[in-house]
Amino acid sequence: MAINYPNGQKYQNPKHDVISRKSFSAAKRGMTLEDELNQANSYYLATNRAVIHKKPTPVQIVHVDYPARSVAKITEAYFREASTTDYNGVYQGNYIDFDAKETANKNSFPLSNVHEHQVNHLKQVVQQDGLAFMIIRFTKRQETFVIWAQLLFDYWDNQEHARKSIPYDVIAEQGQHVNLGLNPALPYLDAIDQLRKQR
């Protein structure tokens, strides 16, 4: 008999699955960072650890075609406003807000991957004592880190007079590496817990 988790995923008996870090990494290669975050958030919600959701992007529908009575097809729409960050929610009584970015650069995270309105939004969250952070994946290294938004602000506010990227070494030193997991595959809240202990 097949047993599924509440989110529809198949149950895998850990006694029968001996997975090395290398083979696990290869198995997850098809998942994007967003897929892994969405899966983690579903798991956190199902286990009552946190309530975190991907923010919908506000869209204004302009024209809809009705080729049949029961079928509607949106043929024209536009974004009503620039989106802020990707995710927000509540964790251990704290409002959290974050964005997730991937880079093919091996030695730095380009600030051009972030938009000014996103930085301003994260600054507003910090001013209200929320937990604001970035999740950054270095795809060539197959490494994912969580950094506090303040590190982003430090580089963002000085980019006119200094470098236009955050060095990998700085992210690795001041951020927290997200270790691979089984369920969820990307347990980023564990990294947040470690960063909070260092404050």
- Does residue 61 belong to any structural domain of this protein? no
CATH of the domain at 137: 3.40.1350.10
- Does residue 11 belong to any structural domain of this protein? no
Range of the domain at 150: 24-55+83-197
Position 14 scores a pLDDT of: 44
- Does residue 187 belong to any structural domain of this protein? yes
- Does residue 18 belong to any structural domain of this protein? no
- Does residue 73 belong to any structural domain of this protein? no
CA dihedral 125, 106, 190, 25 (to 10 degrees): 140
85-123 in b/e form (b: 16+ CB < 10 A) is bbbbbebeeeebbbbbebbeeeebbebeebeeebbebbb
pLDDT tens digits, the chain, 199 residues: what are they? 455 555 555 555 444 443 344 444 444 444 699 999 999 999 999 999 999 999 876 666 777 888 777 787 777 766 555 668 999 999 999 999 999 999 999 999 999 999 999 999 999 999 999 999 999 999 999 999 999 999 999 999 998 778 899 999 999 999 999 999 988 999 999 999 999 999 8
- Does residue 16 belong to any structural domain of this protein? no
- Does residue 70 belong to any structural domain of this protein? no
